[in-house]
Amino acid sequence: MTVKPFLLLVPLALCVLSCEGGLDVPGGAGPGEAIAQAHWLELPETSATDGLDFFSRSCSIDGKALRNYSYYWDYTNRVSRWVAYPLCGVYLGNSGRSEAWGYDPFLPASKQSNVSGGFRKGDNNWYDRGLQLPSADRTANGELNATTFYSTNITPQDSGFAGGVWATLEGKIRVWAAKSDTLYVVSGCVSDGATHYVYDRSDNKVTVPAAYFKAVLRYSKDITQGDRGFMAAAFWYNHDSYPNYFSKSESMSVKDLEEKLGYKLFVNLDEVVGVNVANSIKSEKPSLVNWWWQ
């Protein structure tokens, strides 16, 4: 398979500040592209030959146009391989949960899942509607929050997992974001090796992921932490054998997660800080860095 990473073509000095001080990079992308053309730091690698499509969703907050989140849609399994997004204070507010479960307007209904009434039982058990980008990460206004309930952001999740260690990790990520200028987040699932499925409300089969993961890239202009202001951490959970409690022992380096996934995360970081520094940031073991666990 030939993988074509999209590259950041501007030096660090030309990056602009956004997300209340976080690094951002100029770039844009339209929906339904095989290869992501955006240059945002949260984005993983994409390929022209894997049959998946890249989508990017924008939003408006207090009259300002911002990116919301991006996702990599798997038509066969009817789940997004990953959802990637920036997280900082501008996206947070008091909207609460819209519960606006529905179709994603970027895709024909026949190409996604009907999640409006919850998943129906498949070959194994009942599963919840799990949001890859949590509703609580997009509460600046109701319209923004409603986009987290589109079917392309939803996967079948074991209820104990969704309400347990996964929910705890989601809360930790919001705490880390509050102590950062920007936290760049990738939330994803693994369909390779999956053995179970559910049905949606239109009788389409939806794959129950075999595993879930999250990777975070922290940026702060206070360079006393990390390298050039960057730090990174990653987590992987098997869907059928997850721990009961969140622990730093479950953390891993982004490099280790990349090896498990078989593709690159935070692909544009190389061009921001250089390949060697990016490798160092992504190779650091977060369990040994006190900042994550304070």
Tell me, what's the pLDDT at 239?
97
* Domain CATH number, residue 251: 3.40.570.10
> Is residue 120 one of the residues assigned to a domain?
yes
> Is residue 225 one of the residues assigned to a domain?
yes
Residues 6+ apart with CB under 8 A from 56: 28, 29, 30, 31, 36, 38, 67, 69, 70
Could you tell me which residue, 21 or 66, shows the higher pLDDT? Answer: 66
Number of domains in the chain: 1
Range 149-157 average pLDDT: 98
> Is residue 34 one of the residues assigned to a domain?
yes
Its domain, for residue 21, covers 12-293
Q: What does the block give as tokens for 242?
A: 């997850």
> Is residue 196 one of the residues assigned to a domain?
yes
> Is residue 23 one of the residues assigned to a domain?
yes
> Is residue 167 one of the residues assigned to a domain?
yes
DSSP-H helix ranges across the chain = 142-146, 159-163, 165-178, 254-261, 269-273, 275-283
Residues 6+ apart with CB under 8 A from 27: 8, 37, 38, 39, 40
Q: Write phi, then psi, for 237 (nearest 5 degrees).
A: -135, 125
pLDDT tens digit sequence for 58-67: 999 999 999 9
> Is residue 1 one of the residues assigned to a domain?
no
Q: What does the block give as tokens for 276?
A: 């060697």
pLDDT tens digit sequence for 28-82: 455 778 778 888 999 999 999 999 999 999 999 999 999 999 999 999 999 999 9
> Is residue 40 one of the residues assigned to a domain?
yes
pTM: 0.91
Instruction: Quickly state the pLDDT bin for 19 (edges 50, 70, 90).
Output: low
pLDDT tens digit sequence for 211-266: 999 999 999 998 788 899 999 999 999 999 999 999 999 999 999 999 999 999 99
Using CA of residue 62, residue 63, residue 66, residue 69, what is the dihedral sign? positive
